[in-house]
Structure 1
Amino acid sequence: MKSALLALLSLNVFSPGALGLSFSLESQPEFGQLKGFKGSELCQVAENTKRYLQEQVQDVFAVHPGKIINDKITVQKVQDTLAFICRTYREDVRAKRHSRLHDSAFVRQHFEFVRWLPDKKTATEIAGKSTNAAKSRMLNDIPDKEIFLTKYYTKLLDGSPVKTELYNQALYALPYDEKGLTLAQAQQQQGALTRFRYTRQQIIAGALLKDKLAQPLVWLTEEALHDVLLQGTGVLKVDGKIRYFNVHRNNGIDYDYSIGKREQARYWYFIETPEIMGYGHDQPSKIAIKPQVTFAGNIADLGVGKLVLVSYREGDRQVGRLGVLADQGGAFDNNLFQLDLLVDSYRGWSDYHKANGHLPDYASAWILLLKQ
C-alpha cells in the first residue's frame, strides 16, 4: 500500500488530499466494450463545452481543473482532452473507418484514468434524512467502488399557448422587474426583485399571475410543471410544433435532496431555446447538449468539461460509455457520489423505462485526461 501511494505521488499529478478519499490514478482500468453513444454527438458536446471553457473564464464556479486535482492538471489539459475527442472523430470520418472512440485499446492508450470512488459518507447522511424510502435504500446501497448512476430525460409534454382548465400552470419568463439585468446586477438587487420573493407553492397558487409580474411563456398541467422544474428542460408540443424551454434563473432557494418534487420550494424561471441546453452561468452562455453523451454532476467540485467513462454489466458482458460533464442540478450540491446521464425525451415513465430499463443504478466511473 505504501509503495503504491509513493508511486502515485511520484507522478506529481494528483493531490495527496485526493488519495484515499474519492479519486486516484488507475493504470489498468477494466471497462469492457465501449457502446451506447455516437461519436458525432460526443464530439458536438465536447466542442461546445471546450468553447465554454475558452470563453467563460470568469465563471470560477465551473471553469477550474477540479478542486480534488492539483495545479499539475490545468483547464488547458481539459480542453486538450475535449479537442482530442473531436480530432479523433473527424480523422475517422475522413478515413471512412470505424470510430476509434469505441475502441477500448485506443482509449486506454491515449488517456489517463482517474478512478472515482463514491462519497458514501455523505450519501448515507442524506439517506438518513430522506422521507422517500426508495431513495434512502438506493443511497444506502451504493457499492464501495461504484457511483450512483441516475438517468434524466427531457419531458416530452403537451402545452397550450393560452391558459385553459387543463393547462393552468405557466412556465414563466424572468419577472418584468429583472428584464435587462445581468446575473451579477440581479444578485446585487435581490432584496427588491420579484424572482426572490416567492416559493414554488406560492407561484402555483397564482402569486405572479395575480399582479401580472412575469410573462407566461407556455401553459401546462401542474404535474407537468413539477416534472419540468425537476428536469430543467421542457420539450413541449404546442399547436403541433415542438418547442424547447430551459431553466434560466431560480428564486434562490436550495434544492432539498431529502424531499419530493412537489414539496420543493425552489422555483425556476424559463427561457425558450432552439435545443436542449446544459450548464451555463447565465442563459446566453449555456452549453448545447445531446442525449447519451452528457452527464450532469457536481460541477462546483469537479469543474465543467470533464470527460467521463462509466462501466457496468449489461447481460453477461461488461460495457462502457463516454460522456462529458456539461450539466448540473441542485441535487449535486456537496454530492460526489452520483452522476446523471441524459438519456432522451419521453412522454413518461413507461416510455423511459422501456428504453432504459437495462441501464443499472450503479457503475464504475473514471475521469479521463489526455496523456501528454
Structure 2
Amino acid sequence: MKYLYLLLCLSFSTQAQFVLDKSPNLHGSFSVDSQALCQVAKNTVAYMQQYPEDSFAVHAGNQVIEQATLARVKKTLSYVCQMPLQSLTLDGLKQHFDFYHWLPDKTQANKLAKASDNQVKKRLLTQIPEQQIFLTKYYSKLLKGSEVQTKEFNQALYALPFDEQGLTIEQALQQKDHLTRFKYTRQQIIGGVLNKQKLAKPLVWISEQALHDVLLQGTGVLDVNGKRRYFNVHRNNGINYDYTLGKTEQARYWYFAEVEGVLGYGTDIENKIPIAADVAFAGNVKQLGLGKLFLIQFETSKTPSVHLGVLADQGGAFDNNLFQLDWLKSSYFGWKDYFQANKHFPDYAKAWLLLKKADSK
C-alpha cells in the first residue's frame, strides 16, 4: 500500500512532496558525530530563537508539510542533543522520529536542464530518479595565497567596500544606487576595478582559479605564517546566481570577512550559524525553512550508507529548487583532492525529513 500511495502521488504531480513513510527501508552503515550534530542543531535553534523576524528562513516551511510546525522543528533539533547514544541507530531513529520521504521536483529540474548549455549539469538534472534527490557536496576551500599581491596570487578576497563600512544591510539597500558593492560584476572586479580605484581593502591574495572556487564554496581557509585563518562570504553584488552557467561565467560576486570558522546561513556576517562537516546541509531555506533535520541514504561502491544532518546553510543555486541538497564535507585545496576523497559518494540519494514523534521521550 505504501508504494501504491507513492505511485499515486507521482502520477498526479511532479512537484516536490514529502510523504509520510511509516516503514522506511533503512539499511547500511550508519555513524554520526553526535557532538558535532548536536552543536550544529544548537547553533541553528539559537539563530531561530534570536531572529524570529527573519521571515526568509525562520518558518515551518512554505506549503511543504503541514506536520512541520516551527515548534516541532525546534523540538526535533533540541531532541538531537537529548538522545541517548544507544538510540543513535537506524532502529532508534525509527522509534523516535516520523519519516517524510522527499520526492523531488523533477519539473523544475528538467526545466533548468533544458535551459543549461552545460552538458554535465544537463545530464545530472535530467537523470534525477523519481524517489531520490540530487545530492551535491560542498566544502571549505583550502587556499594558497599571500598577504601581498604577486604574479601568481593576483586576485584578492575583498572586504566590504569602504563606502559601505558601518552600514546595516537595510541602510545599504536604501543607498544601493550609490554604493560600490552593487556597481560591478565578478568579471569587472577580476579585471582590477576595485584595486585600481582603491575602493575596498584586500584581505588576502589568491589565484583567479581559487577565487572562482571560494566564491562558489563560500568559505576560504588559509594558512598564513603558521596561523590558520578563515574567510567567509559577507555580502554580494546583488546579481543572482544563474543555475545554467558555469562557475567562471557567473556575474555574482561576494565580498568577504575574516571569521572564526566555517559558517552557514545568516542575514549578515555577525549572525551566521557555525556549522561542521558531514552534519550540515545547504538547501532551499526560503521554502523548506531553516533547521530541518534530514537523513540521506545511498549506495556506494563500498557499502550502503546513511547520514544525518541539519539544514543550516543556503545559496543562490537553491532558489525555486526542491530537488537538491548540498552536503558539507571537509576542507580541500580544489576539485582534484576533493574528488579523490569523495568520489565514492553518488550524485543521488534517498532523503527523509525527520520530525520528533509527539510521544517520544
Within a 5 Å distance, the mapping from 1:69-88 to structure 2 comes to 69=64, 72-88=67-83
* Residue 200 of structure 1 pairs with residue 186 of structure 2: yes
What is aligned with 1:136? 122
Change (3 A) 1:368 1:18: farther
Q: Distance in 2 between matches of 1:35 and 1:269?
A: 38
**Of 157, 165, 169, which residue of structure 2 is paired with 1:179?**
165
Q: Distance in 2 between matches of 1:31 and 1:352?
A: 28
* Local SS of the residue matching 1:339: strand
Q: Distance in 1 between matches of 2:165 and 2:146?
A: 24
Q: CA RMSD in A?
A: 1.9
Kept in 2, the 8 Å contact 1:31–1:318? The answer is no
Change (3 A) 1:349 1:249: same
Kept in 1, the 8 Å contact 2:143–2:222? The answer is yes
**Of 31, 52, 62, which residue of structure 1 is paired with 2:26?**
31
Give unmatched runs, 5+ long, in structure 2.
6-11
- Kindly provide the CA deviation profile for residues 168-207 of structure 1, in whole angstroms up to 9, marking residues without a partner as x: 1100011111111111111111111110010000111111
1:348 is displaced (CA, Å) by: 2.2
Change (3 A) 1:21 1:245: closer
- Kindly provide the CA deviation profile for residues 263-315 of structure 1, in whole angstroms up to 9, marking residues without a partner as x: 10000000001100000011111000000011110000000100000111134
1:18 is displaced (CA, Å) by: 9.4
Q: Distance in 1 between matches of 2:14 and 2:109?
A: 19
Kept in 2, the 8 Å contact 1:36–1:292? The answer is no
Q: Distance in 1 between matches of 2:58 and 2:283?
A: 14
* Residue 310 of structure 1 pairs with residue 296 of structure 2: yes
1:69 is displaced (CA, Å) by: 3.8
What is aligned with 2:36? 41
What is aligned with 2:141? 155
What is aligned with 1:116? 102
1:73 is displaced (CA, Å) by: 3.0
Kept in 2, the 8 Å contact 1:18–1:68? The answer is no
What is aligned with 1:335? 321
- Kindly provide the CA deviation profile for residues 97-145 of structure 1, in whole angstroms up to 9, marking residues without a partner as x: xx532x1111001111111111111111111111111111111111011
* Local SS of the residue matching 1:314: coil
Q: Distance in 2 between matches of 1:328 and 1:293?
A: 14
1:31 is displaced (CA, Å) by: 2.3
What is aligned with 1:13? none
TM-score scaled to structure 2, two decimals?
0.93
Q: Identity across aligned pairs (percent)?
A: 55
* Residue 289 of structure 1 pairs with residue 275 of structure 2: yes
Q: Distance in 2 between matches of 1:78 and 1:48?
A: 14
Moved more, 33-42 or 359-368: 33-42
**Of 223, 229, 234, which residue of structure 2 is paired with 1:248?**
234
- Kindly provide the CA deviation profile for residues 62-85 of structure 1, in whole angstroms up to 9, marking residues without a partner as x: 000001246653211111101100
**Of 169, 172, 181, which residue of structure 1 is paired with 2:155?**
169
Q: Distance in 2 between matches of 1:109 and 1:18?
A: 30
Within a 5 Å distance, the mapping from 1:89-128 to structure 2 comes to 91-92=84-85, 99-101=86-88, 103-128=89-114
Change (3 A) 1:18 1:237: farther
Q: Distance in 2 between matches of 1:146 and 1:69?
A: 17
Kept in 2, the 8 Å contact 1:160–1:239? The answer is no
- Kindly provide the CA deviation profile for residues 252-272 of structure 1, in whole angstroms up to 9, marking residues without a partner as x: 000001111111000000000
Kept in 2, the 8 Å contact 1:250–1:269? The answer is yes
Change (3 A) 1:34 1:108: farther
Kept in 1, the 8 Å contact 2:264–2:274? The answer is yes
Kept in 1, the 8 Å contact 2:30–2:90? The answer is no
1:237 is displaced (CA, Å) by: 2.0
1:319 is displaced (CA, Å) by: 2.4
TM-score scaled to structure 1, two decimals?
0.90
Q: Distance in 2 between matches of 1:284 and 1:108?
A: 37
Within a 5 Å distance, the mapping from 1:332-371 to structure 2 comes to 332-371=318-357
- Kindly provide the CA deviation profile for residues 148-175 of structure 1, in whole angstroms up to 9, marking residues without a partner as x: 0011111111111111111111000111
